[in-house]
Structure 1
C-alpha cells in the first residue's frame, strides 16, 4: 500500500498534515509509524519523522491482533531483563560495599582524585539522564576536573549541533541551567565538544580585531550582537590590546551587548 513520510512537531500538526495529504476510500484507513520522535532542547525544536501507510481496514484488524501478541511477548521479556538487571545491580552494589568495608578496615583507601571525586560521578549521572531524555545521538567522551577547579564535560555525537545551537547559544543556556540547579550550584561546570569553545574564542578575537580596525579607520562606533558574559570578556580583552579603542557594555542579560568606540569619542 501507499506510504508517505511526514515531519511534524506534535500530534495535532501531524493530524492536520495527514488530513491534507491523504485521500482515503471507504474501506481504507491509515497507520502511523514513528521514525523519529520530536524533541525540544532548550530553545531548539526538532520535528519528528513519521511514516504514514494507507491500509485496508480488514488488514489493520489482523495486524493489530498480531501486534498485541508480539507486544505481550516483548513486555514479558522486558520484565525478565529488568529483573536480571536489578539482581546484577544489587550484587554489584553489595560487592562494592563489601570491598569498601574491607579497604576501610585495612586502611587501603586510595587518595587519587579520580577515584575520590564524587562530583564527577554526580555530573556523569546527570548527563546520562539528560542525554536519554533528549533522545539525541550524543555520548559522554570524558569528564575531568581542571587545575582551576572547574569541571569539564566533553561530549560528542552526530546531533551535537543541536546542543551547541547558533553561535553556542544552546550550550551557554545549558551551562547556565546547570549552574542554577541545587545539586551543582557550588560547582563550575563547562561543556564542550571537539574544541568548539576554543574555535569560538578564535572567531570572537578575529571579530574584535576586524571591528576594531573599522572603528579606527572610520571613527564610527560599532555595536555588536548580544553575547554571553564570557564571550564579552573575550572581546573586551582583545580590544584592550588595540591602542585608541575601548569597549562599553550596554543593556541587561541575556540581551547585553558591546559597543566598540574610539577613546577620544565623546559620549
Structure 2
C-alpha cells in the first residue's frame, strides 16, 4: 500500500512546496492530490484547504488517466443523447395556460429567494464557526427584492458592532464586496441596535445643526455608511437654513453640515 499524507495549505503554490518537503519519491514514483476541502477566505478569516497526497507508481497514474479519459468520453456521449431526448419531449408537451405560467414564475421566485437565504445562512454559520465567536443566527428576513436582514445575538456581538457601530459598518461593507453577494444587499442587526443608533444619529444632527446656526461655521462629521448619512441628511433638512453635503469615497465618505448661501441667484 502506497503512502498517504494529509496536508493543509492556503494556495496551490504553498501546497507544492509542502509536498516537496514532505515526500521522498523513487524514480518510478509520482504523486496525486485529492482535494478534501477547498481553501477559503471569509472576510478577515483565512481557512486553509485540506488535501490528501498519495504516492503512486507512474504506470498506475497513466492507467488511471486513460480510464478517466474513456469515462469522460462516454459521459459526453450520454449527455448528448439525453439532451436530444429532452428536445423531442419538449416538442410534444402542450403549451401551458397563463395561470400555470404565473404559478411557475412564482415558484421560481420563491425558490430563488429560499436559495439566497440558505446561501446567506451558510455564510454566517461558517463565519461564526471559524471565528469561534459566541453568536447565533436569530432570523434572516427578506426586506425587498434584493435586500436581506440578518438578525444575530450573543455575548460576543460587541465585537461585531464595535464603537458607535463602526465595526458593524465595516463588516457590512466587506460582505457587500463579496462576489457571491454581488447582486444583493445584506444588513446585520442585533437587539434593535440600528433603531437605537438612528435615534442617536438624529440627536447628533440636531445638536450639530444648532451649533452651525449659532456660529455660522460648517461642521464636518465622521465617515458614515450611506444608510447613516441618509438619516443625517433627512434630520438636517427639517432645520431651516441648513443643508448637508457629502465628500470622499466609500467607505470613508463623510458629511458636512453648513448654512445655506443667502445670496439670491
TM-score w.r.t. length of structure 2: 0.55
Counterpart in the other structure of 1:57: none
In 1, are the aligned partners of 2:146 and 2:183 still within 8 Å (CA)? no
Which of 126-135 and 214-223 deviates more? 214-223
Q: Does 1:186 align with 2:173?
A: no
- Corresponding residue of 1:239: 236
The match for 1:156 among 121, 130, 153 is 153
Over 3 Å counting, the alpha-carbon distance change for 1:115 and 1:254 in structure 2 is closer
Distance 1:150 1:134, change over 3 A: same
Q: What is the alpha-carbon distance in structure 1 between the residues aligned to residue 253 and residue 185 of structure 2? A: 22
Q: Secondary structure at the match of 2:179?
A: coil
* Matched residue, 1:176: 173
Aligned to 1:127: 124
The reply on whether 1:210 has 2:207 as its aligned counterpart is: yes
* Equivalent residue number for residue 143 of structure 1: 140
Aligned length in residues? 162
Contact 2:43 2:175 in 1 (8 A): no
For structure 2, list consecutive stretches of 5 or more residues without a partner in the other structure. 1-41, 45-103
Per-residue CA distance 1:103-133 (angstroms, 9 max, x = gap): xxxxxx9959489611111111110000001
Q: Does the 8 Å CA contact 2:43/2:174 hold for their aligned counterparts?
A: no
Greater Rg over alpha carbons, structure:
2
1:73-92 correspondence to structure 2 within 5 Å: none
Unaligned runs of 5+ in 1: 1-40, 44-108
User: Which shifted more, 217-226 or 200-209?
Assistant: 217-226
Question: Is 2:242–2:260's contact at 8 Å kept on the other side of the alignment?
Answer: yes
Q: TM-score scaled to structure 1, two decimals?
A: 0.55
RMSD: 2.7
Per-residue CA distance 1:176-215 (angstroms, 9 max, x = gap): 2212112111111111101111111111111001111111
Within 2, Cα distance between the matches of 1:133 and 1:187? 24
Corresponding residue number in structure 2 for 1:248? 245
